[in-house]
Structure 1
């Protein structure tokens, strides 16, 4: 019999911290008029800490046998909550066009629905492209949270546009993989 990991473990605690940091991030992002330099830097630090917890919770869970059903469910929820809150917050503040937020969130919602639809047949694992997409999104969003101007803002836009392209490409890749897998399993039965 395979031992089951306890729900109360470091990896799940990091996921819980990330979930708690989402509303903290939003509150700090909107302090004052949402454009006070000090509070934007604080919001960036909160966002960065949340992103870093995402990097470590999964690695810890896999390396030390702490994978749980709770973590498997809560981790992607925490990721999408953080990214979604940041994108919506930046769009509400007028710092990021709504089309960027809509494209990224529509892809995330679409892939989530796709994963749920094919869950009976197996899990669609995160691809290298999907992991790269998440990293580029986090860097781009972090740069938009910072009070940047001039060439720094241009650099932030280049990274954000790369994030949008990766978002679309990996979304299509997930769809193609799911269809191919579905056809392969149908042919085998």
Structure 2
């Protein structure tokens, strides 16, 4: 039977195709004017669903730790859901021409590389916890992706390219946290049997 944190994680996975539909299917809901920023209503709905899905990442971890409901299924599903959410959003933003493909490739590549080293560690019975730098990277990615989906609202009104600043910060933190992750765990890759 699934516990509450695992149900929350699974809900995050199910929200991914829903926000993708709103972002990528050419609905003609029109646009809404938010303080000088015109946002397609479908993109606004997609962004809201993405933000809700991102918040579930914090909720499932909170409940799992608080009520000691950490399971092997949760250890598998939570990082998978995170990677699927971020990867799907980045690919959608590239498709919408709101994000350069090379930035998406850097971020997705780091996620695959870290997942690979985690799999190697898991094969040896080791669990690698997320670092504070990795958590900061995740938050920066969620903020940047949300800003891009919202077409830089509300910063468009004051001509501040917050969405581009945020994605540059997220890319920088992605690289730095990836290097840090590999430096701290290189013993796993260098271990021989």
Q: TM-score category by the smaller chain? A: 0.7 to 0.9
Change over 3 Å in CA distance of 1:152–1:71 after alignment to 2 = farther
Other-structure match for 2:16: 22
Other-structure match for 1:45: 48
User: How much has 1:8 moved relative to structure 2?
Assistant: 1.6
Cα offsets for 1:11-54 (capped at 9, x unmatched): 11110110000000100111327995111110111001001100
Larger helix share, 1 or 2: 1
User: How much has 1:180 moved relative to structure 2?
Assistant: 4.5
Larger strand share, 1 or 2: 2
- Gaps in structure 1 of 5+ consecutive residues: 1-6
Change over 3 Å in CA distance of 1:44–1:166 after alignment to 2 = same
**Matched pairs, number:** 180
Other-structure match for 2:7: 13
1:129 aligns with 2:136: no
CA distance in structure 1 between the aligned counterparts of 2:76 and 2:27, rounded to whole angstroms: 35
CA distance in structure 1 between the aligned counterparts of 2:41 and 2:79, rounded to whole angstroms: 30
CA distance in structure 1 between the aligned counterparts of 2:20 and 2:69, rounded to whole angstroms: 30
Cα offsets for 1:143-175 (capped at 9, x unmatched): 000133465661111111010000000100111
User: How much has 1:76 moved relative to structure 2?
Assistant: 0.6
Q: Secondary structure at 1:100's aligned position in 2?
A: helix
For normalisation by structure 2, the TM-score amounts to 0.86
- Among 52, 70, 74, the alignment partner of 1:71 is 74
Change over 3 Å in CA distance of 1:153–1:108 after alignment to 2 = farther
Change over 3 Å in CA distance of 1:153–1:41 after alignment to 2 = farther
- Gaps in structure 2 of 5+ consecutive residues: 32-39
**What is the Cα-based RMSD across aligned positions, in Å?**
2.1
- Among 23, 32, 47, the alignment partner of 2:26 is 32
Cα offsets for 1:119-154 (capped at 9, x unmatched): 215122100000000000000000000133465661
CA distance in structure 2 between the aligned counterparts of 1:130 and 1:49, rounded to whole angstroms: 20
Other-structure match for 1:61: 64
Other-structure match for 1:172: 179
User: How much has 1:176 moved relative to structure 2?
Assistant: 0.5
Change over 3 Å in CA distance of 1:10–1:121 after alignment to 2 = closer
